[in-house]
Each structure stands twice: as C-alpha cells, then as structure tokens.
C-alpha cells in the first residue's frame, strides 16, 4: 500500500503480483483485527427532518491497522467478504451494537449493515435471535440494512431469511436505494420497512430541480408502499429544507452528526449500563 487515493487510501503497485501480495497480507491482518482490538464501532445519528430530534443511530465499522492507520470500510469490507471473514466480524458488530444500545437511557433505534455474504450463509437468523436474547435489546429497536445486490443474485433464499428476521420483530431497510439495477422490482418483491435513498441523490438537493424531483418521487413511492424514507448524506441546511418541503421523514449525514464513538453522543445515550 503506497499511495493515498480519493478516500485517503488506495492500493498502488507496479505489478499485479505485488498487489496480490499486499491484498493477501491485508486479508490476513483483518482476520486477527478483532482479537487485537483494532476494530471499533462508529455511530452516526439519524434525525427527524421536521424537528431535528435524533431517533437512532447507524453503526459503521472502523479498522485501525497498526501500520497503515485507519483503513476505510470501502476497502476492507470487500476483502472481508471475499474471504468470508465478514461473517464473524458481522456477528461481532451486531453483538457489540445491540449490547451498547440495550444500555441507553432512551430506546433509540440501532441500524446495522448486513453484508450479502452474511445473508447467503446459513446462521444469520440464529445469530440475530441469539444476540437479541443475550443483550435483551427490544427487537423493534434493531434495523438491518441490506443492499439490493444479494436480493438480485439469490432472491428466493434472501426472501426467506428476511422474513425470518422480521418474524423476530426486527425491521429491514433497503440501503443505497436508487443505485442498483432493479431497485423498483426489488422494492416490490421484498418486505422492507424503510428505504434509504442514496446520498448521490441527496448531494444535489438545493442546487438541482431534477434531484429534488427524484427525491420527491421516492418519498411518494415509499408512502404508497408503506415504507418511510430516510435520506443519507445530508450535509447542508439547504438539502434539509428540500427534504422537509417534500415530507421526507428522516435524515442522516454530517448536518446531523459525523460518525463517531458513542461517547461523543453521551447526552443522548447516557445512563448506559456499559457496553
């Protein structure tokens, strides 16, 4: 790993061989990252657009590599998926997040990303069930975020798994809405509770009438389907105002808060019984 890229991190090597070596090295490091205390959870608040009131948090995984420093999830999640390490790591994330949320003073929501690989392998439903039981978290406070990729590839199995998860009382959100190949048919085929409209659409709100029209349409679609919409990547008051004008219910983004350690949100969560 030599050069810093767009998100501060990228692979760059002269030859394929070196790149493969570096990738394999990173994969190996990742297998031990949890045991060595290199993984952490960052929490990002989600708030009502109309009032600014925080109603929950999305959990985002962070990896602090001993030599390379922070490695972005866009780099290491695909590696963990390729090796299958995402399964134990994902279980760890779920367990930590639910235990944390169970100790909060207010019954705020907690949203956890689930990789397609976790959905495809057996055991996800049992992992969620056991986690709820062990942590005592009210299932209605837990939301799993899934992207449509898995649903397109192995739709029948995914449908069964999502229905079993929902039977536990957990909700399911469609993540990155609008970026996939068949977002509309996916919405029709799966029992989502919420739609997260991708930040690529939110970015131009306030400057582009087209972007506003798309978000308005998605909000209307969600209303018709009984799936409230949450806007991702909201950075400015102008974007928030367009969301409010179009009755988008919930927002997430730097305007509300950057992802950070749960301690930085103590005012909202304190009374914590520990982690």
Name the residues that contact ligand C2E, by CB under 6 A. Answer: 44, 60-61, 72-74, 77, 90, 93, 113, 115, 175-176, 199, 233-235, 253-254, 259
- CB-nearer residue toward ligand C2E: 18 or 205: 205
From the list ligand C2E, Ca ion, none, pick the one residue 12 interacts with, judged by a Cβ distance below 5 to 8 Å according to partner type.
none
- Evaluate whether 142 touches 112 at the Cβ level (below 8 Å): yes
From the list Ca ion, ligand C2E, none, pick the one residue 23 interacts with, judged by a Cβ distance below 5 to 8 Å according to partner type.
none
Residues in 60-99 at the binding interface with Ca ion, rule: CB under 5 A: none
* DSSP alpha helix (H) spans, the chain: 16-33, 73-83, 86-102, 116-120, 124-135, 148-153, 155-167, 183-189, 199-202, 209-225, 237-245, 266-269
- CB-nearer residue toward ligand C2E: 76 or 104: 76
Our finding on whether 113 is near Ca ion (CB under 5 A) is yes
- CB-nearer residue toward ligand C2E: 87 or 105: 87
- Evaluate whether 43 touches 95 at the Cβ level (below 8 Å): no
Residues in 223-242 at the binding interface with Ca ion, rule: CB under 5 A: 232
List Cα–Cα distances, 192 to 57, 140, 142, 151, 249, in angstroms: 18, 14, 13, 12, 16
Beta bridge partners of 44: 58
Residue nearest to Ca ion (CB): 145
Residues touching Ca ion, count (CB under 5 A): 5
CB of 64 to Ca ion, least distance (A): 21
- CB-nearer residue toward Ca ion: 100 or 176: 176
- CB-nearer residue toward Ca ion: 29 or 197: 197
CB of 115 to ligand C2E, least distance (A): 4
CB of 149 to ligand C2E, least distance (A): 11
Our finding on whether 29 is near Ca ion (CB under 5 A) is no
Q: Can you tell me the distance from the alpha carbon of 230 to that of 116, in angstroms, rounded to the nearest whole number?
A: 21
- Evaluate whether 173 touches 210 at the Cβ level (below 8 Å): no
CB of 244 to Ca ion, least distance (A): 21
Near Ca ion by CB under 5 A: residue from 56, 93, 176, 240: 176
Beta bridge partners of 69: 65
Q: Can you tell me the distance from the alpha carbon of 141 to that of 135, in angstroms, rounded to the nearest whole number?
A: 12
DSSP designation for 264: G
Q: Can you tell me the distance from the alpha carbon of 135 to that of 103, in angstroms, rounded to the nearest whole number?
A: 9
- CB-nearer residue toward ligand C2E: 147 or 269: 147
Q: Can you tell me the distance from the alpha carbon of 9 to that of 3, in angstroms, rounded to the nearest whole number?
A: 7
Q: Can you tell me the distance from the alpha carbon of 30 to that of 266, in angstroms, rounded to the nearest whole number?
A: 30
Our finding on whether 148 is near Ca ion (CB under 5 A) is no
- CB-nearer residue toward ligand C2E: 84 or 105: 84
- Outline where DSSP puts E strands in 3-68: 39-48, 54-65
From the list ligand C2E, Ca ion, none, pick the one residue 91 interacts with, judged by a Cβ distance below 5 to 8 Å according to partner type.
none
Give the residues lining the site for Ca ion (CB under 5 A): 113, 145, 175-176, 232
């Amino acid at each position: 790993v030599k050069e810093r890229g767009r998100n501060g991190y990228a692979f760059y090597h002269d030859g394929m061989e070196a790149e493969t070596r570096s990738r394999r090295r990173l994969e190996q490091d990742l297998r031990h990252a949890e045991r060595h205390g290199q993984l952490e959870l960052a929490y990002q608040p989600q708030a009502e657009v109309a009032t600014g009131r925080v109603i929950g948090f999305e959990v985002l995984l962070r990896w602090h590599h001993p030599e390379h420093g922070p490695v972005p999830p866009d780099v290491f999640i695909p590696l963990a998926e390729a090796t299958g390490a995402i399964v134990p790591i994902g279980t760890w994330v779920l367990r930590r997040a639910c235990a944390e949320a169970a100790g909060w003073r207010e019954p705020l929501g907690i949203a956890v990303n689930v990789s397609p690989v976790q959905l495809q392998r057996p055991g996800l439903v049992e992992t969620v069930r056991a986690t709820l039981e062990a942590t005592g978290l009210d299932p209605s406070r837990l939301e799993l975020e899934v992207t449509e990729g898995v649903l397109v590839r192995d739709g029948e199995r995914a449908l069964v798994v999502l229905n079993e998860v929902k039977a536990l009382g957990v909700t399911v959100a469609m993540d990155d809405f609008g970026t996939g190949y068949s977002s509309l048919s996916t919405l029709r085929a799966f029992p989502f509770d919420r739609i997260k409209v991708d930040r690529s659409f939110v970015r131009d709100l306030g400057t582009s009438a087209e972007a506003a029209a798309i978000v308005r349409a998605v909000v209307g679609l969600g209303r018709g389907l009984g799936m409230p919409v949450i806007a991702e990547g909201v950075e400015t008051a102008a974007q928030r105002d367009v969301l409010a004008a179009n009755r988008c219910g919930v927002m997430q983004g730097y305007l509300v808060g950057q992802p950070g350690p749960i301690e930085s949100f103590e005012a909202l969560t304190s009374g914590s019984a520990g982690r």
